[in-house]
């Protein structure tokens, strides 16, 4: 069975972080499901690009192999304020599954979900002040610590998505996708 990942979109999401992640995951053969927290399946990003979600998060009735949270503003704040998102993060983490968040989302949704204690993470520069004691911030593009993958922002999305692929499908698949997509 193919790994399943849920990419959660909220109004104001960072388009590059969402679309590149979805694309790379699908190239790897991962069932990348686009979910939204809003009432409408058409979600407007921070740059006013609309993306069609496949399902409302409230209708997801399984724990995925990975939850992927794009950042962007106010997208990251909207994810943080969604009890459904926080509940999904907690359940996914409790099952030992992968949590991947980029840009502002690690410092917002992952902090609120309480899954970062004892973890080393990164985020959008400046948002590291939001991490609670017990979380170690590293100023790096992508940080992998156990079942948590974090990245700093839009320009790091290819490496972020490939780290997810590596965790779910292995190094060989990640290298194959990287090579085929001409990612340096």
Is 103 in the active site? yes
Please tell me the number of Cα atoms within 13 Å of 29 on its side-chain side.
11
Four-residue CA torsion sign, 122, 125, 127, 129 = positive
**What is the separation of C-alpha 100 from the centre of its chain, rounded to a whole number of angstroms?**
4
Residue 163 near residue 149 (C-beta atoms within 8 A): yes
- The Cα–Cα gap between 17 and 15 comes to 5
- The Cα–Cα gap between 58 and 174 comes to 31
Residue 21 near residue 75 (C-beta atoms within 8 A): no
Catalytic residue among 36, 103, 123, 169: 103
**Helices assigned H by DSSP within 45-115:** 75-80, 83-94, 105, 111-113
Residue 168 near residue 66 (C-beta atoms within 8 A): yes
Residues taking part in catalysis:
103
């Amino acid at each position: 069975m193919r790994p399943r990942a849920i990419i959660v979109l909220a109004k104001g999401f960072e388009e590059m972080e969402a679309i590149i992640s979805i694309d790379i995951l699908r190239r790897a053969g991962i069932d990348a499901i686009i979910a939204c927290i809003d009432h409408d399946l058409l979600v407007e990003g921070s740059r006013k690009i609309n993306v069609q979600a496949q399902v409302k998060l409230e209708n997801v009735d399984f724990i995925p192999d990975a939850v992927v949270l794009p950042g962007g503003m106010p997208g990251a704040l909207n994810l943080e304020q969604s009890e459904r998102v926080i509940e999904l993060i907690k359940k996914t983490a409790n099952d030992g599954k992968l949590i991947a968040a980029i840009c502002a989302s690690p410092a917002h949704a992952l902090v609120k979900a309480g899954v970062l204690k004892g973890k080393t993470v990164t985020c959008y520069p400046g948002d590291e002040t939001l991490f609670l004691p017990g979380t170690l911030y590293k100023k790096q593009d992508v940080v992998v610590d156990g079942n948590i993958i974090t990245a700093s922002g839009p320009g790091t999305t290819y490496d972020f998505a490939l780290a997810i692929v590596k965790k779910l499908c292995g190094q060989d698949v990640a290298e194959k996708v990287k090579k085929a997509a001409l990612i340096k």
